[in-house]
């Protein structure tokens, strides 16, 4: 598909009932009282966030089915919608916590009444086993725990049945917030151990299909590639009971179908809709649209330094000047979000993040830079996109392809199914040029750099390796933001990112969802996945 064909095709989104076979399964009248029907565009591939290869849509299982020691508060946004509040930590399974006077440990008191779905009490032994598992299985979960200086089982101590302690390897501003992200979920260790084997001591095969939590919802049914059905846990003690007894989450790859379903009132919520639909549906009285800026998130062009031409910084900078940013923002983002190009200086004035990089579309400058390299005559490169995110990635890729062509670089668009994307882009890091959309869970610039700019870390899909960056990240992560040394270190990180551009920022996006006016309690969370715990329906 070329750019002209794409633009033409995006004009047709209205569908008739005759081409919506999905409606046979989710008509409004078929949803019983107390049930919310949600559609998503991506596939859940596991029920265990700790399992290797678990994809981002699957994180919602950890959110809805498991508790953590802590959670974040809730705030009201200017438009009246709800958002998590990063500045407020609240009790979850831990009803209280206290840092030792010497600052070397944190002690947590667990809720006395907390029980798992099978009625077993939640104990400090369960907390230790769960956190031991999170740091021991490797991959993304272990690195996420490492961000909060939670790195080895010896740090996790059972004091008594309802008292748990974390011994700190060093003081870090990220330790407590890191206990509130989806990864350190508390698992029913007694049940998990019964289903563990010698070759699988952490019960990864069992928990892949059988959650064992204490959370607000249980999994009543999972049909991989089709749907997951949540059923309320009426014995939940970590918050007010959800307002709906059952949540049916259907996977509908077609964005046109998802849009038609919410427009017709056949579902309660279409989670994560494209910017175009958000813009157009906002004008309709029958649908409520919530668009929330995604903190610490950038849609960007990843330039993989494992690909020979991209080892030259001037080639990367030439590509940054070739990108038609304004056209992309208009066509792919429909003007929603915050532009991340056109910065005024090569040195940041402050540590706000994300902030615009000092590049704009300048073909002459791009050609001048490329002419100073061994690749002055151009080269060929695949430009990879995730088909599950085609609504923004495809038009963006087409425009980048055009821009690269103007400086002699021939890009062929490589479309990768969403189920294979995480492995190709993030685990194997084998895509030379690709679009990416990482957002940092903990809202600090140094945390973003921890994940996206350090060698070997999951979201460093560019294979970037800079010893100075690694040192600065390590030092800044463990400084409080009011420490005089913090700001200079973060400014230097941003300055290096400006100059080296292993990631070329495009824009800071919004998370958009469309819903029925009868649905209540929708809340934005940093993990960008469905949180059903506060959902309700008027008249139910």
Write the DSSP string, 461-527: TT----HHHHHHHHHHHTS-TTSTTHHHHHHHHHHHHHHH-SEEEEEE-EEEEEE-TTEE--EE-TT
Helix (H, G, I), strand (E, B), or coil: what is residue 416?
strand
Q: How far is CA 121 from the centre of its chain?
A: 31
pLDDT tens, per residue, the chain with 540 residues:
444 444 444 433 333 333 334 444 444 444 566 999 999 998 999 999 999 989 999 999 999 999 999 999 999 999 999 999 999 999 999 999 999 999 999 999 999 999 999 999 999 999 999 999 999 999 899 999 999 999 999 999 999 999 999 999 998 999 999 999 999 999 999 999 999 999 999 999 999 999 999 999 999 999 999 999 999 999 999 999 999 999 999 999 999 999 999 999 999 999 999 999 999 999 998 899 999 999 999 999 999 999 999 999 999 999 999 999 999 999 999 999 999 999 999 999 999 999 999 999 999 999 999 999 999 999 999 999 999 889 999 999 999 999 999 999 999 999 999 889 989 999 999 999 999 999 999 999 999 999 999 999 999 999 999 999 999 999 999 899 999 999 999 999 999 999 999 999 999 999 999 999 999 999 999 999 999 999 999 865
Cα distance between residue 215 and residue 155, in whole Å: 25
Cα distance between residue 228 and residue 222, in whole Å: 4
CA 170 to each of CA 102, 135, 146, 413, 445: distance values in angstroms, whole numbers, following the listed order: 11, 16, 12, 46, 20
So what's the pLDDT on residue 238? 95
Cα distance between residue 535 and residue 247, in whole Å: 9
Bridge partners, 413 (sequence order): 383
Bridge partners, 301 (sequence order): 435, 504
Cα distance between residue 457 and residue 437, in whole Å: 15
Task: Find the farthest-apart pair of alpha carbons in the chain and give their distance in angstroms, rounded.
Answer: 70
**Structural domains in the chain plus CATH codes:** 20-45+215-291+511-537 (3.40.190.10), 67-209 (3.90.76.10), 299-508 (3.10.105.10)
So what's the pLDDT on residue 22? 40
Query: Based on the number of CB atoms within 10 Å of its own CB, is 305 exposed (0-12), middle (13-18) or buried (19 or more)?
Result: buried
Please measure the distance between the N-terminal and C-terminal CA atoms of the chain and give it in whole angstroms: 46
So what's the pLDDT on residue 388? 86
Cα distance between residue 176 and residue 178, in whole Å: 5
Spatial contact of 107 and 97, defined as CB atoms under 8 Å apart: yes
So what's the pLDDT on residue 20? 38
So what's the pLDDT on residue 48? 98
Spatial contact of 27 and 517, defined as CB atoms under 8 Å apart: no
């Amino acid at each position: 598909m070329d750019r002209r064909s794409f633009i033409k095709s995006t004009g047709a989104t209205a569908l008739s009932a005759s081409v919506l076979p999905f409606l046979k399964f989710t008509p409004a009248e078929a949803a019983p009282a107390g049930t919310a029907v949600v559609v998503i565009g991506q596939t859940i591939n596991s029920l265990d966030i700790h399992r290797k290869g678990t994809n981002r849509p699957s994180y919602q299982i950890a959110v809805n089915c498991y508790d953590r020691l802590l959670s974040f508060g809730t705030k009201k946004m200017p438009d009246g919608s709800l958002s998590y509040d990063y500045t407020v930590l609240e009790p979850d399974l831990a009803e209280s916590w206290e840092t030792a006077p010497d600052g070397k440990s944190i002690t947590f008191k667990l809720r006395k009444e907390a029980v798992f779905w099978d009625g077993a009490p939640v104990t400090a032994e369960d907390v230790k086993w769960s956190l031991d598992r999170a740091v021991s299985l490797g991959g993304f979960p272990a690195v996420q725990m490492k961000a909060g200086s939670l790195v080895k089982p010896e740090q996790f101590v059972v004091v008594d049945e309802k008292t748990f302690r974390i011994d700190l390897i060093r003081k870090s501003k990220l330790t407590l917030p890191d206990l509130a992200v989806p990864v350190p979920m508390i698992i029913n260790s007694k049940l998990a151990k019964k289903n563990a084997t010698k070759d699988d001591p952490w019960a990864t095969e069992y928990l892949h299909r059988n959650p064992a939590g204490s959370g607000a919802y249980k999994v009543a049914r999972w049909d991989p590639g089709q749907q997951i059905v949540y059923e309320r846990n009426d014995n939940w003690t970590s918050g007010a009971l959800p307002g709906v007894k059952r949540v049916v989450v259907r996977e509908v790859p077609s964005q046109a179908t998802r849009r038609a379903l919410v427009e017709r009132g056949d579902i309660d919520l279409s989670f994560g809709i494209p910017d175009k639909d958000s813009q157009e549906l906002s004008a309709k009285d029958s649908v409520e649209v919530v668009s929330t800026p995604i903190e610490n998130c950038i849609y960007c062009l990843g330039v993989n330094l494992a690909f020979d031409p991209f080892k030259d910084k001037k080639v990367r900078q030439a590509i940054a000047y070739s990108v038609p940013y304004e056209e992309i923002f208009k066509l792919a983002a429909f003007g929603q979000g915050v532009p991340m190009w056109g910065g005024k200086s090569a040195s940041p004035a402050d540590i706000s993040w994300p902030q615009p990089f000092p590049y704009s579309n300048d073909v002459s400058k791009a050609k001048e830079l490329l002419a100073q390299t061994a690749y002055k005559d151009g080269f060929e490169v695949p430009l990879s996109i995730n088909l599950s995110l085609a609504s923004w990635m495809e038009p963006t890729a087409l425009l980048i392809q055009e821009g690269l062509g103007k400086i002699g670089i021939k890009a062929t668009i490589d479309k990768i199914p969403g189920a294979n994307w995480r492995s190709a882009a993030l685990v194997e890091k084998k895509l030379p040029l690709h679009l990416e959309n990482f957002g940092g869970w903990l809202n600090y610039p140094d945390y973003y750099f921890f994940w996206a700019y350090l060698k070997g870390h999951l979201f460093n899909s560019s294979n970037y390796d800079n010893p100075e960056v690694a040192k600065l990240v390590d030092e800044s992560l463990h400084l409080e933001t009011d420490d005089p040394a913090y700001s200079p270190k973060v400014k230097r990180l941003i300055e290096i990112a400006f100059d080296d551009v292993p990631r070329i920022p495009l824009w800071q996006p919004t998370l958009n969802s469309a819903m029925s006016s009868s649905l209540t309690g929708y809340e934005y969370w940093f993990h960008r996945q469905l949180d059903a715990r506060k959902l309700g329906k008027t008249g139910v």
